[in-house]
Structure 1
């Protein structure tokens, strides 16, 4: 069966009620399988990776394949308490599809239902991916070897909903769509002491203040101003009481960059600055950098040109050229391993992504299915 718009909306609303956190998407997984099992099975091969049990791989066998085209959707949710007031609000306490992954999954099911009835020319691989919001699910999938044999794509595509675009609009750009992100943790260790006798202590607050100011120069003086990078230090903890010199300070923040090369350059400069502060203040400065799988989403130039050309020339699609965003997405790791394209699907809402009031316009679902379906068919002819 090909899922109708009404059926897709019903599926989306059910998914919205059962959000689950990274690597715990068991109810979501079972519901997705129940829908997939209702589809025509003639061309389908389903695999559940034992090493990543909430993931689902569905291969649609092509009639005359010359490639395997991958399509990825993420399936996890966020630790957000929903405040939409919808009749189909989350039934799971303090968990919500506040990033719109319920929309992502529903579009993927709509595409899968179409190609289950209309055999594609090329092989199509649908990857229902756990743990996008945390735990680097894309990286885990790759490193666990779940893309193997016929389940290994030659190219990969995926969308992300965008409340700032009209419902059903497609947004994309050549180059980076999402920034890569790296978590920054810094521990500055000195010596505590009485506030009246600073000569007998080693004040980590003073050293950390200098460190924080020097870190701010990395972007302004070490990175090409034509490019974009961000270092934000959002949390600083030190001390216990006003008249005791702090012997330890903890600084936490994040790095954002539009290319992996830029992120690595920022990492190197951050190490240099930390080493310099350690020597200058005779302290131990421990730097921890954790990027995981949240690499920049760098679209393949040639495939992106084909994608944009199709969307621009399709009179049924409203195509919008979009600027890069500094938000993170773990599809970037997969695009570093397989050529492909990530793009926006407009869902037209006043609330932003990750908001407790995010309410995507459900008209975007079928419009998204039709736009992506048309591109995939076109891609198989080229």
Structure 2
């Protein structure tokens, strides 16, 4: 039997109480496995990869499979102290499902339970993924060879909850849904000295100030105005005392872009500015770029078109066309390797994602399960295939 709405809500509340940080999702993994084992059928197989022990894969073998359809749910939480006041608030101090991954997991379990009792035509692969918020869990899984043999999806789907959409609504768009992100650190080495003798030193602070101003020209003068890119410097450090010229400065920031090509363009401009700073100021500059698995979530055109058409036409679904968001999501890395689509599930909450007060409306869970099971069933009735990258 499929899990009922009441059962799903209880599952979600239990998951909400046991949030765990990236690659530490031991309790979460055990609980997910216990729920899934109660749904086990002769055509279901579970796998915990040795290379990623908090991950869980579940394969439901279809009756006449033409493809394997993947569905991903992230399972980690954030280092946030919960302030919702809910009776089922986090029991782990300083850790909270402040991004709604408890909802993601619960919806996936609902979809899984439906197809465990209504055997699908195609194979379905459920990937309960650790470490989305940090540590690049999707990339780790791919590089560890988790998706091989019968565990390799031909296409991949996943959702993210959205507090700004009505509870249960499905939001999506053709093209990029989420931006890709790259972290950057810049170390500037000059020559320290007495504040009264600047000509005998090489001030890292002055060089840093110039670089900060130049970095702000990257998007303004190198990114197409009708597209979107962001370069933000969020942290600067330099100096020890007011009357000593600093010999070292450090900047930390983030790059965000709607396509991988745009991110690489911004990367190259940043490299060029750092090289120019060395020449102009006679300092040494070390630039470190780290994108990891946080690539743009670029939805496959054909699969996304079908998902949107289905959601628009389904009587039980409230479909909303959404704009791209500058938030990051490591599902983008998997969509760079497998064709697929990510979409929003509305949870109607005044608090934003990553907020200590995020409290998704639970009626969104069953609505999400209904929409996704309907879409996947419709997809299995289609003949066309999309070539994997």
What band does the TM-score fall into relative to the shorter chain? over 0.9
Distance 1:135 1:349 in 2: 28
Instruction: Tell me, yes or no, if the aligned pair for 1:40 and 1:117 is still in contact at 8 Å.
Output: no
Task: Summarize deviations over 1:243-290 as a string: whole Å, max 9, x none.
Answer: 111110000000000000000000000000000011100000100000
**How far did 1:326 drift?**
0.2
Q: Structure 2 CA distance, aligned partners of 1:325 and 1:239?
A: 37
Give the equivalent residue in structure 2 for 1:371. Answer: 371
What is the deviation of 1:40? 3.5
Q: CA deviation at 1:41?
A: 1.7
- Tell me, in whole angstroms, the C-alpha distance in 2 between the residues paired with 1:104 and 1:256: 24
Deviation at 1:348, TM superposition (A): 0.3
Correspondence for 2:275: 275
Deviations 1:144-171 (A, max 9, x none): 0000111100000000000000000000
CA-based RMSD: 0.5
Count of matched residue pairs: 382
Q: Distance in 2 between matches of 1:132 and 1:138?
A: 7
5+ unaligned residues in a row in structure 2: which ranges? 383-389
Q: Which residue is equivalent to 2:100?
A: 100
Spell out, residue by residue over 1:327-381, the C-alpha distance to the aligned partner (whole angstroms, 9 max, x if none).
0000000000000000000000000000000000000000000000000000000
Match of 1:298 in 2: 298
For residue 20 of structure 1, what is the aligned residue in structure 2? 20
Q: How does 1:212-361 map to 2 (within 5 A)?
A: 212-361=212-361
The Cα of 1:43 is off from its aligned counterpart by 1.6
What do the CA deviations read for 1:45-84 (whole angstroms, capped 9, x no partner)? 1111000000000000000000000000000000000000
**Aligned equivalents of 1:373, 1:43: Cα separation in 2:** 18
Q: Give the Cα–Cα distance (whole angstroms) in 2 for the partners of residues 243 and 90 of structure 1.
A: 48
Residues 72-106 of structure 1 deviation map (CA, whole Å, 9 limit, x = unaligned): 00000000000000000000010000000000000
- Say whether the 8 Å CA contact 1:42–1:116 is kept in structure 2: no
Aligned equivalent of 1:33 = 33
Taking the aligned partners of 1:377 and 1:312, their CA distance within structure 2 comes to 15
- For structure 1, which segment, 41-50 or 354-363, has the greater mean C-alpha deviation from structure 2 after superposition? 41-50
Give the TM-score taking structure 2 as reference length.
0.98
Partner Cα distance (1:47, 1:27) in 2 = 17
Please list every run of at least 4 consecutive aligned residues from structure 1 whose deviation after the TM superposition is greater than 3 angstroms: none
Note the residue ranges of structure 1 that are not aligned, 5 or more in a row: none
1:310-332 deviation per Cα after TM superposition (whole angstroms, max 9, x unaligned): 00001110000000000000000
Give the 3-state SS of the residue equivalent to 1:337 in structure 2. coil
Structure 1 residue 227: Cα displacement: 1.0
Output the CA distance in 2 between the equivalents of 1:35 and 1:301: 35
| Separation in 1, partners of 2:139, 2:197 | 51
| 1:2 Cα deviation after fit | 1.1
How far does residue 42 in structure 1 lie from its aligned partner after superposition? 2.0
| 1:226, distance to aligned residue in structure 2 (A) | 1.3
